[in-house]
Structure 1
Amino acid sequence: MKSKKLALFTISLLIFMLTGLTGLVGNAAAEPKSSKTYVIGTDITFAPFEFQDVNGKFVGIDMDLLEAIAQDQNFSYEVKPLGFNAAVQALEAKQVDGVIAGMSITDERKQKFELSEPYFESGVVMAVSKNNDDIKSYEDLKGKKIAVKTGTEGYRFAESIATKYSFTIVPFDESAQMYEDVKTGNSVACFDDYPVLAYGVNQNNGLKIVTKKEAGGSYGFAVNKGMNQELMAKFNAGLANLQASDQYDQILEKYLGDSASQTVVKSRGGLILESLPALFKGLGKTLLYTIVSLFVALIFGLIFGFMKVGQNRFLRGVATVFVDVFRGIPLIVLAFFIYFGIPQAFGFTMPLFLAAILTLSLNTGAYVTEIIRGGIQSIDRGQMEAARSLGLPYRKSMMKIIIPQAIRIMIPSLINQMVITLKDTSILSAIGLVELTQSGKIIIARTFASFDIWLVVAIMYLVVITVLTKLSGYLERRARRG
């Protein structure tokens, strides 16, 4: 009888939680969006078209064009930094109204999206490390590895000549990662859009261009087919007005002209000090997502943990399925499914915060469930039998005798899970979550100072995790003395 009451209680609590969560998602989906405010997805690690300056403002050719067109056509917008691949998926899932991210106009993309009039004519070049004098043409690439960025004109061009020149393609999601792979010697060269590589070389990214510009595609603004026709019409009209005036040329000159090649080389100390505010802001978000996710995960863990040690076979089965599913799906796959897959299937917009919390909470909750189950089952069954033989009810026996002992066993594992969850937040940068790791990527896209920024990011993680580890040891010692 007591176990049935406990089972009913856990089911009721679970239904309450899921109902509240559904309400959050429903509210997000039902919230009306202003007809004059558009959400625009982009990739802010693609200088000089879009990147983040020292003050945290989104700048670049695409960002300046979008701002000028919005002023010309009298509409407002919100920029959503996601990364190129995530931005395209967000557009397919209707999470954003449009995408501007140096997107080449191709026949394949025309099948899925409606693309604007071209706003930039690009082209592809090859670059090598500035100290490499051996690679001067495509013929020198035989048997070598070549770095490319997925989804770009450079990737498609590399694919088209890879067989002819017998080289291997190594794909990356960001330009900065591709450049670092060449500088470290893992790849001997990279292909990228000419303005992007030229801008990076002028900003001392450690590379040099060794080939002439190949004919490339044009960049366009994208919306879903049959949707946001008003936005597309405004973009094309505003672009035409900018091109008819000198404002369009001024924007290009700002980032690609002679003045753009003048860069101030800062000392390592100066660069790190300049980057610290953004990195500390990212660290704060990492801690916020970790704490909130752990709180929700602990609730999941308590519910399903007690279900797994209960006497009801059906509830044990439900808890087992929960653990197997969310421990078995890789975190990044779960993030893509929750943030892109579910909204696309059911036709609503999911806030990034909710998607991130759900992803981390479900994944962590599965592990916490096993921690709680293991902690409870590690207590000798004889203690429960002795308590029941003395007339104590099942619930009071659990609360007064079993749970206090189990908590002492669980504390180190729970702290360890907190550390794992904190590190797992970095994976969610793949869906556009700007936490500590993503903050580092954004800074590197502007400064190309990989060693310095990643060193600072690593130290920040190390300090926080060391503090948590020391806290775990302290709590464990207190629990043993208690």
Structure 2
Amino acid sequence: MKKVLLSLFAAVLLAFGGMSTVQADEYLRVGMEAAYAPFNWTQNDDSNGAVPIEGTNQYANGYDVQIAKKIAQSMDKELLVVKTSWTGLIPALTSGKIDMIAAGMSPTEERKQEIAFSDAYYTSEPVLVVSTDGDFANASTIEDFSGAKITAQQGVWHVNLLPQLVGANAQTPMGDFSQMRQALASGIIDAYISERPEAMTAESANKKFKMITLDPGFEVAESDAAIAVGLRKDDTENLVKVNAVLETISEDERVALMDDMIAKQPAESSDEEETPNFFQQVWAILKKNWKQFLRGTGITLLISMVGTIVGLFIGLLIGVYRTAPKAANKALALLQKVFGWFLNVYIEVFRGTPMIVQSMVIYYGTAQAFGISIDRTLAAIFIVSINTGAYMSEIVRGGIFAVDKGQFEAATALGFTHGQTMRKIVLPQVIRNILPATGNEFVINIKDTSVLNVISVVELYFSGNTVATQTYQYFQTFTIIALIYFVLTFTVTRILRYIEKRFDADTYTTGANQMQTEVVK
């Protein structure tokens, strides 16, 4: 066990020792999804003026990136892209995790309640994206989409356009464009609402997609069609600087820049003469992106392993405390009771709320409310640890109750204190009793790390989703991710079963042997 703990400690040092600290005065940290070509996308090198993505060995490029580069240059700073999910962009900004947002975001009235916006740097035209071999490939009017299953991105003004499609079957909004493209490719939906540049990207990158421009088109408010840079409300100094830069970019330059980004956007690589089969596509994706998958797998294992061990330790401490006898001193007894209430609140809160919500509150909330900025990977380990600790405390409590009461009585008769009874007699048996449940928690943590993508932790799901947005081959990419998750969980399960068998050889006799030793002493 000591070797295991030392290895884990070394892994943590290795993971964080090589991370450079980003200084706010050296970099302009701009948040975006980096998955919304041609506005922003992820690529594997710095070609065509791409810039680094924080915490990864990848780069971001696109129209938003190039606009942000001009802003950073005017401030004599280097641009650093902070890849963040759409729902996390505004919390990241208001909590100080990023300096501004350049992500194809429209300055809607609702968003203006939370953040400030610059002047517009692009004006969008809403369109629809359909399947080229679908029933609506030849549609041209709103009436033509009667009965069609249509969706839009959650939290975006596109959702407000769904009611204009009279007769259409509006679907639940989805999290991002990669999900909508995947749903369209698999036939779950018939179309999704997009903007002309993104639709042109989807159409040119994947021959299965087609852009439909409605005539007459959607009725769109000016504030919705505009795209602007988002800043904190109190950041008036940078707002003035951003507007000054945008004023120097003419309309012709903006159109030329967008055309250039459309030409440089990621495209689906396939041989038109011979289309590779599914397994060839999977192998090609794995061969090209294995480093990303390996990095994501490593972070997933690190977070889940450390989180499970720390959570187990928390559970053991709480379990021992909650079974301790009441203190004889009234003041100590009162403190003991109050602390017990605190532990109950902790357990109920973290067992009763989803980890994805806990992630948002802890990572962004602590920065916004208390000015505490936590490294996202350390935050992820902390979140998984305390979440696991809440569950493990109940598992440990059940394990303690499973130990025969006669052993407690025998220990008391021999003069053991509560601590000695727990350490020498009960806990060795408890650990064996809870091993299956602990293994189950480990497996759950491996899978649940996927929710940490909301705070931009580069775990396996985050890495795989990035690859999917680059290749437009969603089913093939997520097949690889599913196989990796299965290999991880299957391997962990087999290792834990081996450990259980080793424990079976001597754990159940530990308590009795220990008491016999004490009697001889």
When normalised by structure 2's length, the TM-score is 0.79
What do the CA deviations read for 1:295-345 (whole angstroms, capped 9, x no partner)? 332332122111222223615444333222210111112112212334323
Query: In structure 2, what is the Cα distance between the partners aligned to 1:346 and 1:402?
Result: 41
Query: Superposed, which structure 2 residues align to 1:461-472 within 5 Å?
Result: 461-472=485-496
What do the CA deviations read for 1:273-302 (whole angstroms, capped 9, x no partner)? 112111111111111211232233233212
How far off its partner does 1:38 sit?
3.0
Secondary structure of 2:130's counterpart equals strand
For the 8 Å contact 1:429–1:435, the answer to whether it is kept is yes
User: Given the alignment of the two structures, is residue 302 of structure 1 paired with residue 316 of structure 2, yes or no?
Assistant: yes
Secondary structure of 1:46's counterpart equals coil
Question: Match of 1:288?
Answer: 302
Picking from 250, 269, 273, the partner of 1:264 is 269
Aligned residues: 447
| 4+ residue segments displaced more than 6 Å | none
What do the CA deviations read for 1:124-177 (whole angstroms, capped 9, x no partner)? 001221111346132243344312111324222224x15x43532321111011
For the 8 Å contact 1:153–1:192, the answer to whether it is kept is no
Moved more, 107-116 or 330-339: 107-116
How far off its partner does 1:205 sit?
6.1
How far off its partner does 1:184 sit?
2.1
How far off its partner does 1:347 sit?
4.0
User: Given the alignment of the two structures, is residue 240 of structure 1 paired with residue 247 of structure 2, yes or no?
Assistant: yes
For the 8 Å contact 2:37–2:265, the answer to whether it is kept is no
Structure 1 residues 404 and 197 mapped into 2: Cα distance closer, same or farther (>3 Å)?
same
Question: Match of 2:76?
Answer: 74
For the 8 Å contact 1:91–1:97, the answer to whether it is kept is yes
Query: Superposed, which structure 2 residues align to 1:117-156 within 5 Å?
Result: 117-134=119-136, 136=139, 137-156=141-160
User: Given the alignment of the two structures, is residue 41 of structure 1 paired with residue 53 of structure 2, yes or no?
Assistant: no
Secondary structure of 1:443's counterpart equals helix
Secondary structure of 1:172's counterpart equals coil
Question: Match of 2:229?
Answer: 221
What do the CA deviations read for 1:410-464 (whole angstroms, capped 9, x no partner)? 2222122111111111011122222100111111112110111101111111111
How far off its partner does 1:249 sit?
5.2
Secondary structure of 2:458's counterpart equals coil
Secondary structure of 1:165's counterpart equals coil
For the 8 Å contact 1:308–1:319, the answer to whether it is kept is no
What do the CA deviations read for 1:75-123 (whole angstroms, capped 9, x no partner)? 2343211112211222233332211100013333334322122211211
Query: In structure 1, what is the Cα distance between the partners aligned to 2:481 and 2:492?
Result: 17
Query: In structure 2, what is the Cα distance between the partners aligned to 1:249 and 1:191?
Result: 22
Secondary structure of 1:391's counterpart equals coil
For the 8 Å contact 1:253–1:260, the answer to whether it is kept is no
For the 8 Å contact 2:30–2:68, the answer to whether it is kept is no
Structure 2: stretches of 5+ with no match in the other structure: 1-20, 46-57, 327-335, 507-521
Question: Match of 1:434?
Answer: 458
User: Given the alignment of the two structures, is residue 383 of structure 1 paired with residue 407 of structure 2, yes or no?
Assistant: yes
Query: In structure 2, what is the Cα distance between the partners aligned to 1:62 and 1:205?
Result: 25
User: Given the alignment of the two structures, is residue 99 of structure 1 paired with residue 104 of structure 2, yes or no?
Assistant: no
Secondary structure of 1:150's counterpart equals coil
For the 8 Å contact 2:149–2:168, the answer to whether it is kept is no
Structure 1 residues 166 and 249 mapped into 2: Cα distance closer, same or farther (>3 Å)?
closer
Picking from 289, 296, 309, the partner of 1:275 is 289
Secondary structure of 2:501's counterpart equals helix
Structure 1 residues 462 and 419 mapped into 2: Cα distance closer, same or farther (>3 Å)?
same
Query: RCO higher in 1 or 2 (8 Å CA, sep ≥ 6)?
Result: 1
User: Given the alignment of the two structures, is residue 343 of structure 1 paired with residue 348 of structure 2, yes or no?
Assistant: no
Query: What one-letter code is carried by the residue in structure 2 that aligns with 1:156?
Result: N
For the 8 Å contact 2:384–2:445, the answer to whether it is kept is yes
Query: In structure 1, what is the Cα distance between the partners aligned to 2:296 and 2:145?
Result: 40
Picking from 86, 89, 92, the partner of 2:88 is 86
Query: In structure 2, what is the Cα distance between the partners aligned to 1:410 and 1:122?
Result: 57
Secondary structure of 1:45's counterpart equals coil
Structure 1: stretches of 5+ with no match in the other structure: 1-30
Question: Match of 1:10?
Answer: none
Query: In structure 2, what is the Cα distance between the partners aligned to 1:331 and 1:415?
Result: 19
Question: Match of 2:258?
Answer: 252
Secondary structure of 1:209's counterpart equals strand
Query: In structure 2, what is the Cα distance between the partners aligned to 1:111 and 1:389?
Result: 67
Query: What one-letter code is carried by the residue in structure 1 that aligns with 2:154?
Result: T
User: RMSD over aligned Cα, in angstroms?
Assistant: 2.5
When normalised by structure 1's length, the TM-score is 0.86
Query: In structure 2, what is the Cα distance between the partners aligned to 1:81 and 1:195?
Result: 20
Query: In structure 2, what is the Cα distance between the partners aligned to 1:66 and 1:32?
Result: 18
Query: In structure 2, what is the Cα distance between the partners aligned to 1:103 and 1:72?
Result: 22
How far off its partner does 1:477 sit?
0.6
Moved more, 208-217 or 464-473: 208-217
Query: What one-letter code is carried by the residue in structure 1 that aligns with 2:63?
Result: I
Picking from 149, 171, 195, the partner of 2:173 is 171
What do the CA deviations read for 1:169-198 (whole angstroms, capped 9, x no partner)? 321111011122222222221111111111
Question: Match of 1:413?
Answer: 437
Moved more, 261-270 or 276-285: 261-270
Query: In structure 2, what is the Cα distance between the partners aligned to 1:478 and 1:191?
Result: 58
Percent identical pairs in the alignment equals 29
For the 8 Å contact 2:25–2:77, the answer to whether it is kept is no
Question: Match of 2:446?
Answer: 422
How far off its partner does 1:250 sit?
5.0
Query: In structure 2, what is the Cα distance between the partners aligned to 1:176 and 1:238?
Result: 31
Query: Superposed, which structure 2 residues align to 1:46-57 within 5 Å?
Result: 46-55=36-45, 56-57=58-59
Query: In structure 2, what is the Cα distance between the partners aligned to 1:110 and 1:157?
Result: 20
